[in-house]
Amino acid sequence: MLSLRIRIFLSMIVLILIASILMASISLIQFKNEAKNYHQERLERKEDAVKEHINYILSNTTYPLTEKNLPLIFKDKIHELSDIHKIEINIYSLNGILLKSSKATFSVDTISPPVPKYIIKLVQSSIEKRYVDIKSVDGIKNRSSFSQIKDDKFKPLGILNLPYIEDDSFYENEIQEFLIRLSQVYFFMLIIAFALAYFLSSYITQTLKTISDKINETSLNQKNEKILIEANSKEINSLIKAYNAMVDKLEESATMLAQSEREQAWREMAKQVAHEIKNPLTPMRLTVQSFERKFNPEDPDLKQKLNDYTKTLIQQIDTMTSVASAFSNFASMPAQQNETLNVVEVVEFSLDIFNEEYIQFKSDEKEIITIMDRTQLIRIITNLVKNAIQAIPENQVEKSILVEVKQVKNNVNITVKDNGIGIEQENIERIFEPKFTTKNSGMGLGLGIIKNIIENYKGTITFETEFGKGTTFTVSLPKIEK
């Protein structure tokens, strides 16, 4: 399919070409009509002039005005008439027999074809007693007028014939010159039309291109920008308003979806917590029932059995306490203390609790300032480093964890890079989900908790991973100027 820009461009060019063809065609038709009218009027003028001259000759002749005397009357005068009026003159009888002609080669003894009977009938039946016969010979149009010659009493004496060959050389030259000038003008106009069509189509489709790009960038998972341009077209303005309205509705839908997802996550969390609490309750119930059934005050091993019973209960109670604490830590929102921190210093301090020699710290700057709770920042670093340590198999020979702090525009970026086993493709989308974990122990709340903390401070956490080669987590927090 052709783009709208190309279609507008081609439409304008085709319109110019059609207009030029129509103009040339109309001009040719106009020239032909003018030529036709010119020859027709010219023949009529010559015919009127010749007939007036003939009437003058007839009024001054000494011969009686009869059909037989016409050759005698115009014996010498017909050549004079032809020379004066620059036209061939033939005089026929009323029956169509040639009586006299102005042709130089004419002889009385020469047999010339008579006037066709249908022409004689047309002349006699017409009101003006006149008929013009038009024929084309070798592509040249010949006109031949036939009209009656009358005496002073309007009695028909004969038929006057004036052959007329149309000479269109003048009009043909005019048409040729006109077409050359027209082609030059339209060639110049076509060049202008090309440039105008290109810029006009670009101007019309520029706003549509902007709208198309914005629509392609629209996503439910990000903040979508509105189109803040004012187009000169009412239709495009309506399209822009519709897009901006769609962005508002999309944002509302995203908010509702996020709320629904959070509610679903809490419901799943509640199910997980209930499940984790039920797990220790069952052995506790069985232990109490067994102790009650087998209790004997006189049993010599009573004290030992009581100690075992107590240890079992305490162990299950500690399990439930751990579950409750983890859930409480995830659910509680960190308080914003507005504490001004040197991120480089706090991150380096957070690494002191780890004894692994393969943990390295790097920062090109000694001080990058942000506002955040110190305890929460330490918690983020220790959680990410612990995960990095656990991601490296114990039997791996070369172990490496790099913690780097650097400034990127108006943010401070903290990266934790390890060369562990990485994250499998099917687990990438679920890595921040509550209760999701790939470890044999724990509830999978660590990354969910720190993501909650980071987003509360207007930051982001992302990661890049390659299974079998390692993972890099990047925490981006807004920095402030000193």
- Decide which of 439 and 344 is more confident: 344
**Reported confidence tier of residue 305, pLDDT bands at 50, 70, 90:** confident
Flag whether pLDDT at 232 surpasses 70. Answer: no
Q: Say yes or no: domain 234-331 is CATH 1.10.287.
A: yes
For 127-216, strand residue ranges (E) read 130-137, 140-150, 156-165
* Rounded distance between C-alpha atoms, residue 357 and residue 345, angstroms: 19
Mean pLDDT of 168-194: 77
Flag whether pLDDT at 441 surpasses 60. Answer: no
| Ranges of H-type helices in 340-438 | 343-350, 374-391
Architecture of domain 340-478 in this structure? 2-Layer Sandwich (3.30)
| 65, 58 contact by CB (below 8 A) | yes
* Rounded distance between C-alpha atoms, residue 350 and residue 153, angstroms: 139
Domain range 68-166, its CATH number among 3.30.360.10, 3.90.1530.10, 3.30.450.20, 2.40.37.10: 3.30.450.20
Q: Report residue 74: phi and psi, to 5°.
A: -105, 20
| 50, 145 contact by CB (below 8 A) | no
Name the token pair of 66: 């009869």
Q: What is the model's pTM?
A: 0.37
Flag whether pLDDT at 404 surpasses 70. Answer: yes
What are 142's strand-pairing partners? 135, 165
Domain definitions of the chain by residue range: 1-60+168-208, 68-166, 234-331, 340-478
Burial class (CB in 10 A: 0-12, 13-18, 19+), 398: exposed
How do 359-363 and 401-408 pair as beta strands?
parallel
Average pLDDT, the chain: 79
Nearest to 145 by CA among 255, 280, 250, 43: 43
